[in-house]
Amino acid sequence: MPMDFSYKETWLHKINPSLKLLVMVLIFIHLLLIHNTNILINYMIGMLVLYLFFTGHPWRRLLVISIPFLFIFLTSSTSMIFFGKGEITWAEWGLVHITEESFFRGLHLGFRGIIFAVLGIVFALTTRPVFLFYSLMQQLKLKPKYAYSFMAAIRLIPLMIEEMQTLHYALKVRGVQGEKGVRGFYNKLKSYSIPLLSQSIRRAYRIAVAMEAKRFSIPGNRTYFYRLGFSKFDVIFLCYLLVIIPLAYITANHFPYFSITDVRFGR
Amino acid sequence: MGKGLKLSDILVTIIIALIFGVIYKLWGPLYGVVATLGLHLEQLLYGMWFIAAVVAYLVIRKPGVALLAEVAAAQGEFIFGGEWGVATLIFGLGQGLAAELIFAAFRYKRYDMLIASLAGIAAAFASLGIDFYYGYIGDLALWNMLVLCGTRIAGAVLISGVFSHLLVQSLEKTGVTNLVRPAAKEDYQALG
């Protein structure tokens, strides 16, 4: 769980969480409009710099976390490489038809997947959920009943994991043997999910009643334990992006890696 | 009602969503492994990512729950460091809206397997729509794109339609759903 491992605080941690989230959504939309792999690769390097040097987590952990990136690259690119539309054929075996266009489109998708993964991990590693929800309430006017429900729910997850462990032991000690096949899988799934879900719903309901009694659901003016605002780190973050993104465009125009500038079919 | 969701509805929705958020996160690597087999077999698993909306709605049966659940589950997957990062949030929003629209179209009056499957299919279409821009699926060979759409929709029906309905049926037997559902017409009739 990301809650209890140690790390150094960096400037990425001090950015306003709402701003960080909004910027990430804007970057997502922006990335969907980029069809030039050269720009995308430079973009990716700019984001990888954030991941590698500024999250404040030790190298070893960063390495372990980045293993799935490779998976992301493969899963997002392979089917496009093998089955994408294209005219300049490179190889063909049965259904598989690799063309130059589909290959580069596949690469493009792979890099795109990696950028999203990197940004997501950067966000997850440098943002405390509690601060995110306080900030959403204060800056984006999220209703307190939603924010506090979310924070309470996050606190319940470790309890649920503990409960799952208990359930596992309970089934074991009673000698419940799993059957094989789809039916066995279904039964196993049911024997875990039903008790977990029902217990969690009961617990959530009890907590909600208590929270309502404590007037957590009242909208309007209220005081907050944490006050979040904006700081110079927000400016640094925005400046970083405002330098890196135009730079990605300029270098891609002057020093392209590939000659293809639009990976969509027929463009 | 008129006042929207109560805090207890919200908290129960979010806890259901977060349980599925954890499953969504674990589902990612599984999806990745199956994807290496090729031919879009992994798309059969895709339906799991629509299930939070359907289950939450079937349990709580109130307007807005499906959307909230899907967004919250996506948000959960995002803050646990899911592989798709921000993309998850956008997909979650789209899928949640699609499922919500289906439930709204039946005026939040139907809770059977058919409606669950329809919501799953709608969510699948929403995700395909986003994938059109995000994954260039329109540029796949036609047969391949059809396989992708077909398997994803089939997966949606199987997992978020059939499986989620069976799951909620078993949950009903535990009696926990009576806690959170609004009183039905039969309940008032029983009062005489």
Domain extents in chain B: 7-180
Residue B19: how many CB atoms within 10 A of its CB? 23
A154 is in which domain, residue-wise? 144-213
Q: Which of A93-107, A162-176, A207-221 has the highest mean pLDDT?
A: A162-176
Query: Does the structure show a pLDDT above 50 at B1?
Result: no
Query: Does the structure show a pLDDT above 60 at A224?
Result: yes
For chain A positions 221-260, those within 8 Å of chain B (CB to CB) are none
Q: Are residues A39 and A123 in the same domain?
A: yes
Q: Are residues A97 and A166 in the same domain?
A: no
Domain contains A67: yes
What is the gyration radius of the CA atoms in chain B, in angstroms? 17
Judge: B15–A117 Cβ closer than 8 Å, yes or no.
no
Judge: B28–A154 Cβ closer than 8 Å, yes or no.
no
Domain contains A164: yes
H/E stretch holding A93: strand A89-93
Q: Which two tokens stand for residue B112?
A: 């059977």
A interface test, pick of B23, B133, B136 with most A CB neighbours within 10 Å:
B136
Judge: B136–A145 Cβ closer than 8 Å, yes or no.
no
At A99 the three-state DSSP class reads: strand
Q: Are residues A150 and A121 in the same domain?
A: no
- Per-residue pLDDT tens for A174-204? 888 777 778 888 888 888 889 999 999 999 9
Q: Is A24 on the interface with B (CB under 8 A)?
A: yes
Which DSSP category does A4 fall into? S
H/E stretch holding A92: strand A89-93
**Cβ within 8 Å of residue A37, ≥6 positions away:** A104, A107, A108, A111, A257, A258, A260, A263
- Max distance between CA atoms of chain B, in angstroms, equals 63
Write down the ipTM of this complex. Answer: 0.86
What are the C-alpha distances in Å from B121 to residues A30, A248, B80?
A: 28, 39, 27
Query: Does the structure show a pLDDT above 70 at B3?
Result: no
Residue A139: how many CB atoms within 10 A of its CB? 17
Cα of A219 to nearest chain B Cα, Å: 11
Per the prediction, chain A carries an average pLDDT of 87
Number of domain units in chain A: 2
At A89 the three-state DSSP class reads: strand
Choose the closest CB to B40 out of A79, A127, A211. A79
Judge: A78–B179 Cβ closer than 8 Å, yes or no.
no
Nearest CA in chain A to B79: A124
Helices (H), chain A: 17-32, 37-54, 59-65, 67-83, 100-126, 129-139, 144-173, 181-213, 232-254
Q: Are residues A161 and A77 in the same domain?
A: no
Domain contains A246: yes
Judge: B79–A132 Cβ closer than 8 Å, yes or no.
yes
CA angle, A206 then A208 then A212, to 5°: 120
Domain contains A6: no
State the pLDDT confidence band at B169, using cuts at 50, 70 and 90.
very high
- Per-residue pLDDT tens for A103-157? 889 899 999 989 988 998 899 899 988 999 999 999 998 888 899 999 999 889 8
Q: Are residues A109 and A186 in the same domain?
A: no
Per the prediction, chain B carries an average pLDDT of 87
Chain B residues with CB-CB distance to A113 below 8 A: 84
Query: Rounded distance, CA B55 to CA B65, Å?
Result: 10
Q: Are residues A81 and A160 in the same domain?
A: no
Is the separation of the CB atoms in B68 and B10 below 8 Å? yes
Long-range contacts of A4-10 (CB under 8 A, 24+ apart): A5/A61, A7/A55, A7/A56, A7/A57, A7/A58, A7/A125, A8/A56, A8/A57, A9/A56, A10/A54, A10/A55, A10/A56, A10/A126
Mean per-residue pLDDT, B111-123? 93
Domain contains A159: yes
Q: Are residues A127 and A165 in the same domain?
A: no
For chain A positions 194-213, those within 8 Å of chain B (CB to CB) are 194, 196-198, 200-205, 207-209, 211-212
Domain contains A100: yes
Q: Are residues A118 and A244 in the same domain?
A: yes
Domain contains A265: no
Chain A residues with CB-CB distance to B19 below 8 A: 160, 196-197, 200
- Per-residue pLDDT tens for B53-65? 999 999 999 999 9
Which DSSP category does B2 fall into? -
Nearest to A32 by CA among B85, B135, B134, B137: B134
Choose the closest CB to B79 out of A75, A95, A129. A129
Chain A residues with CB-CB distance to B81 below 8 A: 2, 65, 120-121, 124-125
pLDDT at position B192: 65
Domain contains A39: yes
